[in-house]
């Protein structure tokens, strides 16, 4: 059983039988439209309550998807049964709004009847076919969103019949509450003009659906492609961002905002759709990284956060991929935390580096947050704190027998000689994994160190290099034949020193069903919703076509639906190792010339479909004519 507290509510998850919850005032029946006995939850509740339940239901039927009605509980050990009709997945639309309405209306009925507790089964997930984790997210978010509106209701319980279902709720419930608290603190991470425009849209009643596209207008000269990253962070934000009282209080101190607008933000949540490249997808200039479809004010407000997170993680995943490519299968460890530009960038950077193929990170917080392997050696200061280098090595290996020892505090070869002496002292107890070279001529030093270690019979001791490395230096070292087994890469990867920023932008491309463009000679803004089709010859990708979203062209579509109604879709529940593996697979499909560190002689071909080109020209003409009038 999981018990958490949110505002005044106690929320519980239990594995059990919905008909055996005697301490709850109301239980919910996942009903059919006719409110008749049937299979699953409905059958169990009717059997336990007895025939009078069906009689009481008869005058209330039929009910509509999302509707909730209440009856006595009869033979059940509760005061009431609330009957909800969930949506049939793929039939009733919009399914997420109808499913949310079930939970919301049941809670409001419970409150209205003066009941203090309610138990829910999983609604719509059986024969109605709703993907379980999607349904669970909707259920949890709806209960949390209703919490402030409830005063009589004190306890909400989710009763899950199977162990797997229980585990999903037990994981999601505390996770979502933690994310809500985190993103409430970040709700004001937005540019001021997002909020002023948002208020203006409300004032002008400009609330219709909009489409915004996030893309990179030009590839940097030093990049043949970019590697998409940051989507998971963005989806967490979109699903969980809310304005808490502290945020509203601050906005009320700014003379720009009217009280009505500030009060409307109290109930703000993102309700739109997102179509995106899966993390780890290589992409090119002008291709959508993601597209947002939502009411215009919502699309506008989220711009700053989306650009910030997709930009930094894509930038760093791409840089990491190049470092990993240069390392040629040797281990690469992220050492960038101390010089990367801020804590958030360091933590999210470690995540992006992992997608790019890095093996581990020295960043302990990133290891905790994302399950990335953490790794480290020792600093010069530890050696300096001891009277001799050998004394430091002895002490450290007593505590960490399989460590790497930094070998260049007092000269690289002196350190290697001390490692050899330590091995002689310890004999069969010597388990040191490797030595780290952090400065000097790494080609010459690594060769000399390898020779010394091999001559001492320590062929198993690895050589690990660090100190101002990037992909270019790693490539030079390995081309020169340096016998190095792994690399610690810090600042150059952490700040993407050769390409510190991308030409990324988030632009309105459709409003109220009509295309929108920016008439500019410096950036292409392709109108409307789009799709990218990637064609292959055999196992190699050969060209892309940017098309209108409704087109069906040869090749595989790259943009996938990841959010609907403001809720993450099951297809978007991708683990970090899965994203890394996907990136590896997609990179292997690229032409070999694109994987080189040097600029490819021939860029990867990206075309615009005739239909999109025609729509683009039509939209441009429309706005050009309007400007001329």
Residue 62, preceding peptide bond in cis (omega within 30° of 0): yes
- Residue pair 544/284 in contact (Cβ under 8 Å)? The answer is yes
What is the number of other CB atoms lying within 10 angstroms of the CB of residue 503?
14
Cα distances (Å, whole numbers) of residue 435 to 317, 389, 406, 459, 485: 28, 13, 6, 12, 10
- Residue pair 527/534 in contact (Cβ under 8 Å)? The answer is no
Q: Could you tell me the domains of the chain?
A: 2-184 (3.40.220.10)
The rounded distance, in Å, linking the Cα atoms of 17 and 237 is 34
Q: What is the pLDDT of residue 211?
A: 98
What is the number of other CB atoms lying within 10 angstroms of the CB of residue 485?
15
Q: What is the pLDDT of residue 627?
A: 65
Q: What is the pLDDT of residue 252?
A: 97
User: Of all residues in the chain, what percent carry a pLDDT higher than 90?
Assistant: 96
Residues 39-74: tens digit of each pLDDT:
899 999 999 999 999 999 999 999 999 999 999 999
The rounded distance, in Å, linking the Cα atoms of 625 and 404 is 69
The rounded distance, in Å, linking the Cα atoms of 577 and 39 is 39
Q: If you average pLDDT over residues 210-217, what whole number do you get? A: 97
Residues 586-600: tens digit of each pLDDT:
999 999 999 999 999
Model pTM score: 0.95
CA 27 to chain CA centroid, Å, is 35
- The string of DSSP letters for 483-495 reads ---EEEE-HHHHT
Length of the chain: 629
Over 90: is that where the pLDDT of 289 sits? yes
Residue 427 CB partners (closer than 8 Å, separation 6+): none
| Of 201, 213, 206, 208, the residue nearest 528 (C-alpha) | 213
| Of 96, 30, 87, 35, the residue nearest 61 (C-alpha) | 35
Which tokens is 128 given?
């109605």
Q: If you average pLDDT over residues 308-330, what whole number do you get? A: 98
pLDDT band at 458 (very low <50, low <70, confident <90, very high): very high
Q: If you average pLDDT over residues 529-552, what whole number do you get? A: 97
């Amino acid at each position: 059983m999981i018990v958490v507290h949110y505002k005044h509510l106690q929320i519980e998850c239990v594995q059990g039988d919905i008909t055996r919850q005697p301490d709850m005032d109301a239980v919910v029946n996942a009903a059919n439209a006719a409110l008749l006995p049937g299979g699953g939850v409905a059958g169990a509740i009717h059997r336990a309550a007895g025939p009078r339940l069906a009689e009481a239901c008869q005058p209330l039927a039929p009910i509509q998807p999302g509707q909730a009605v209440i009856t006595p509980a009869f033979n059940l050990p509760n005061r009431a049964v609330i009957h909800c009709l969930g949506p049939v997945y793929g039939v009733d639309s919009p399914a997420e709004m109808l499913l949310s309405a079930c939970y919301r209306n049941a809670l409001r009925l419970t409150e209205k009847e003066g009941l203090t507790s309610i138990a829910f089964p999983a609604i719509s997930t059986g024969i109605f076919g709703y993907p379980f984790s999607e349904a669970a997210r909707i259920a949890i978010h709806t209960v949390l969103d209703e919490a402030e509106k409830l005063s009589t209701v004190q306890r909400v319980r989710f009763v899950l019949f199977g162990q797997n279902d229980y585990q999903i709720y037990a994981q999601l419930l505390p996770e979502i509450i933690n994310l809500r608290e985190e993103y409430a603190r970040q709700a004001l991470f937005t540019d001021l003009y997002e909020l002023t425009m948002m208020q203006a849209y409300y004032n002008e009643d400009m609330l219709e659906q909009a489409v915004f596209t996030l893309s990179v207008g030009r590839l940097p000269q030093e990049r043949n492609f970019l590697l998409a990253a940051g989507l998971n962070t963005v989806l967490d934000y979109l699903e969980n961002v809310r304005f808490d009282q502290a945020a509203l209080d601050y906005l009320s101190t700014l003379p720009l905002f009217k009280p009505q607008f500030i009060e409307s933000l109290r109930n703000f949540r993102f309700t739109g759709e997102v179509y995106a490249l899966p993390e780890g997808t290589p992409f090119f200039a002008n291709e959508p990284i993601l597209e947002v479809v939502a009411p215009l004010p919502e699309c506008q407000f989220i711009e700053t956060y989306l650009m910030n997170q997709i930009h930094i993680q894509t930038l760093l995943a791409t840089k990491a991929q190049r470092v990993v490519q240069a390392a040629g299968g040797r281990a690469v460890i992220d050492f960038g935390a101390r010089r990367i530009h801020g804590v958030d960038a360091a933590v999210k950077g470690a995540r992006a580096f992992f997608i790019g193929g890095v093996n581990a990170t020295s960043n302990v917080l990133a290891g905790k947050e994302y399950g990335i392997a953490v790794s480290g050696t020792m600093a010069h200061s530890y050696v300096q704190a001891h009277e001799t280098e050998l004394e430091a090595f002895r002490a450290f290996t007593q505590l960490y027998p399989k460590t790497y020892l930094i070998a260049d505090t007092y000269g690289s070869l002196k350190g290697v000689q001390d490692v050899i002496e330590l091995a002689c002292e310890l004999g069969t107890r010597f388990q040191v994994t490797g030595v780290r070279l952090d400065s000097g001529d790494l080609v010459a030093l690594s060769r000399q160190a390898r020779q010394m270690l091999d001559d001492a019979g320590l062929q198993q001791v690895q050589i690990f290099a660090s100190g101002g490395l990037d992909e270019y230096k790693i490539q030079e070292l390995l081309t020169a034949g340096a016998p190095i087994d792994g690399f610690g890469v810090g600042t150059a990867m952490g700040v993407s020193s050769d390409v510190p920023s991308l030409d990324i932008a988030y632009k309105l491309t459709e409003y109220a069903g009509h295309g929108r463009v920016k008439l500019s000679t410096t950036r292409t803004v392709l109108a409307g919703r789009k799709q990218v089709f990637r064609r292959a010859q055999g196992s190699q990708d050969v060209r892309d076509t940017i098309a209108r979203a409704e087109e069906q062209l040869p090749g595989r579509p790259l943009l996938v639906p990841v959010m609907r109604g403001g809720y993450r879709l099951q297809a978007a529940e991708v683990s970090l190792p899965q994203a890394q593996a996907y990136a590896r697979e997609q990179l292997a499909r690229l032409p070999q010339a694109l994987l080189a560190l040097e600029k490819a002689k021939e860029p990867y071909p990206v075309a615009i479909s005739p239909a999109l080109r025609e729509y683009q020209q039509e939209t441009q003409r429309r706005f050009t004519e309007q400007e001329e009038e």
